[in-house]
Structure 1
Amino acid sequence: MSHFHWDGHDLILHCHLQPKASANAFAGLHGDRIKIRLTAPPVDGKANALLQAFLATAFAVSKQHVCLEAGHQSRQKRVRIKDPQSLPTELALTARSS
């Protein structure tokens, strides 16, 4: 399994979250998932909300176009990004290295 794949015009992203980090950022690969560091703690949905906002900005879409499909209570998540308008450099770099 790759850390992302296309489903029509949608991008499916398999990610591993590191909550309570010092900054929000992509952080390479963690196994077969892309690692994302987030400053939010993993309580009351705060990390999920920040993940949605972070990915919306990274892929140049509205937050409504970022849907958490699996892993609501886990660090391992599957996210659908509907019709991304931009691909972050980090995603392209990890695609080449995998």
Structure 2
Amino acid sequence: MRTPASRRPEGALLHLRVQPRASRDEILGWQDGVLRVRVAAPPVEGEANAAVVALVARALRIAPSTVRVVRGKRGRDKLVRLTGLGDDEAQSRLASLPGYPRLTTTSRSPQ
């Protein structure tokens, strides 16, 4: 499974799967390490990308100027960079989104 976000010196990277032309803008949640989102904007002249940036910024309570689509500008699968957040702050905000994968440890009973 892909990790939900990875940290780089220039900011956290976030994998998205986008559904344009939806009935409304919404974050569906995490699935297989990818944040699934819907936006009402059509995928024409960057409208859907702008809606994705605004939606992610609003959900994470950060400025839209700190969210940038760095890969996938013409496709549904996108890589988004979040700048201006520390590691702990980025993970905390991402964990507040629906369906964030929790790491669990299982202990084996001695046999």
TM range (shorter): 0.7 to 0.9
User: How far apart are 1:71 and its partner, in Å?
Assistant: 0.3
- 4+ residue segments displaced more than 4 Å: none
For the residues of structure 1 that align with 2:72 and 2:9, how far apart are their CA atoms? 22
| Overall identity of the aligned pairs, in % | 27
Q: Whose radius of gyration is greater, 1 or 2?
A: 2
Stretches of structure 2 that go unaligned for 5 or more consecutive residues are: 104-111
Are positions 1:2 and 2:3 aligned together?
Answer: yes
For the residues of structure 2 that align with 1:14 and 1:90, how far apart are their CA atoms? 14
| Count of aligned pairs between the two proteins | 97
Task: Trace 1:1-98 onto structure 2 (pairs within 5 A).
Answer: 1-8=2-9, 10-84=11-85, 87-88=93-94, 89-90=96-97, 93-96=99-102
For the residues of structure 2 that align with 1:33 and 1:83, how far apart are their CA atoms? 21
User: How far apart are 1:68 and its partner, in Å?
Assistant: 0.9
Q: TM-score, normalised by structure 2?
A: 0.73
Root mean square deviation of aligned Cα:
2.4
Amino acid at match of 1:67: R
Superposed CA deviations along residues 18-75 of structure 1, whole A, max 9, x for unmatched, are 0111121111334442111111111111000111111111122221111111001010
Q: TM-score, normalised by structure 1?
A: 0.81
